[in-house]
């Protein structure tokens, strides 16, 4: 046993672990958080809809299907899909998530760009098992491409919400949003992607991502790595290997990753408290999921250690994987304090259930 332990410590043999994480507890946590978000007054929008958040609603929509049988969507999943479909269908009638009148310019444009991408990603992900796009997904893509910048330095991307909140609503989050657009486009059936007008939009998006990726945080380039599994022309083999090497260099001794070491350089919380350096569920789940998407096997020592960390660090009481806010010290038991943990739990589930 000492020899085996030494081999694992040296990274020459992947750790062998029992699957101790609890799927039912994870599902219960995600369901409770989705239900809270959809009824929270601050998330309410016009036409009896609610905002689709990058921290709670989007990760839930992506991860929750992996904790059930394919034919049994949960009530919360159905509510999110109904909400998204309604806003897609009434695109010209519904107000943006945030408006210039209430939050100041350019919040209307930022909201439209952000929502168009999130809507398309949720609907195409739901359609993926069937291999066909529903009318709602097609309309969501039409809205998304209409909001895409076609000229200028940011051509290929979308105007993106910036409330100076890492990691999804900050100065550098436009790149993150573009990676989600690429994941959505790459998840669509090949016949859709091959249509000339769609292909030209995807080409513009791909050119933006390739042009801008070297300037991005490692956290956002992890999402770029994920996107490259959907649109293989984003990275050549050498670039992919270099990015994976960077991620491996940031893996902590316990097998996890910390969002604090992956976020944009010199990022500081608004309350001046130090960023938490320990491994967290969001960074570890996102990295472990992205690595699997580009073909790294679960038995590869570094990835196996990450999955082992996730396996061991689910909260036995709440069912979640925790992550502390990058914007200020939060009470992790509060609803707002759980936002990054909502995403952490969803990406941990995606990593642990990936095939």
Average pLDDT over residues 148-155: 97
Exposure string of 238-261, with b = 16+ CB inside 10 Å and e = fewer, is eebeebbeebbeebbeebbbbbbb
Average pLDDT over residues 298-314: 98
Per-residue pLDDT tens over the stretch 215-227: 999 999 999 999 9
Q: Which among 80, 74, 91 is positioned nearest to 31, based on CA atoms?
A: 74
Give the pairing of strands 49-50 and 44-45.
antiparallel
The mean predicted confidence, pLDDT, of the chain is 94
| CA angle, 53 then 56 then 57, to 5° | 65
Per-residue pLDDT tens over the stretch 13-44: 444 444 689 999 999 999 999 999 999 999 99
Average pLDDT over residues 302-309: 98
- Measured CA to CA, the distance from residue 241 to residue 328 in angstroms comes to 34
User: Would you state the pLDDT for residue 17?
Assistant: 43
- Identify the band that residue 266 occupies on the pLDDT scale cut at 50, 70 and 90: very high
Per-residue pLDDT tens over the stretch 101-119: 999 999 999 999 999 999 9
Average pLDDT over residues 82-98: 98
CA dihedral 49, 165, 108, 147 (to 10 degrees): -90
**pTM of the model as a whole:** 0.94
Rounded to whole angstroms, what are the CA distances from 323 to 5, 23, 124, 130? 29, 19, 28, 34
User: Would you state the pLDDT for residue 20?
Assistant: 87
Above 70 in pLDDT, residue 175?
Answer: yes
């Amino acid at each position: 046993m000492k020899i085996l332990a030494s081999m694992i410590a040296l990274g020459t043999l992947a750790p062998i672990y029992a699957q101790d994480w609890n799927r039912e507890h994870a599902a219960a946590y995600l369901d409770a958080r989705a239900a809270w978000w959809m009824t929270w007054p601050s998330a309410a929008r016009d036409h009896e809809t609610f905002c689709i958040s990058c921290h709670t609603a989007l990760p839930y929509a992506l991860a929750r299907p992996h904790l059930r049988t394919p034919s049994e969507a949960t009530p919360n999943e159905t509510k999110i899909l109904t909400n998204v479909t309604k806003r897609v269908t009434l695109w010209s009638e519904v107000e943006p998530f945030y408006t210039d009148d209430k939050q100041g310019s350019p919040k209307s444009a930022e909201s439209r760009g952000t929502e168009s991408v999130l809507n398309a990603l949720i609907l195409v992900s739901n359609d993926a098992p069937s291999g066909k796009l529903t009318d709602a997904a097609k309309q969501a893509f039409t809205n998304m491409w209409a909001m895409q910048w076609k000229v200028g330095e940011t051509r290929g991307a979308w105007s993106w919400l910036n409330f100076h909140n890492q990691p999804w609503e900050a100065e550098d989050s436009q790149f993150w949003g573009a990676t989600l657009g690429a994941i959505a486009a790459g998840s669509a059936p090949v016949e859709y992607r091959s249509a000339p007008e769609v292909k030209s939009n995807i080409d513009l998006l791909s050119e933006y991502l390739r042009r801008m990726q070297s300037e991005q945080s490692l956290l956002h380039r992890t999402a770029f790595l994920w996107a490259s599994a959907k649109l293989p022309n984003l990275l050549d083999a050498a670039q992919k290997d270099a990015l994976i090497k960077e991620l491996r260099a940031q893996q902590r001794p316990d097998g996890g990753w910390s969002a604090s070491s992956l976020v944009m350089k010199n990022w500081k919380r608004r309350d001046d408290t130090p960023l938490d350096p320990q491994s967290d569920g969001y960074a570890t789940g996102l990295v472990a999921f992205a690595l699997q998407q580009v073909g790294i096997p679960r038995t590869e020592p570094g990835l196996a250690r990450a999955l082992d960390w996730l396996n061991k660090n689910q909260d036995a009481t709440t069912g979640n994987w925790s992550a502390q806010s990058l914007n200020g010290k939060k009470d992790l038991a509060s609803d707002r304090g759980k936002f990054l943990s909502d995403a952490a739990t969803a990406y941990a589930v995606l990593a642990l259930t990936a095939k």
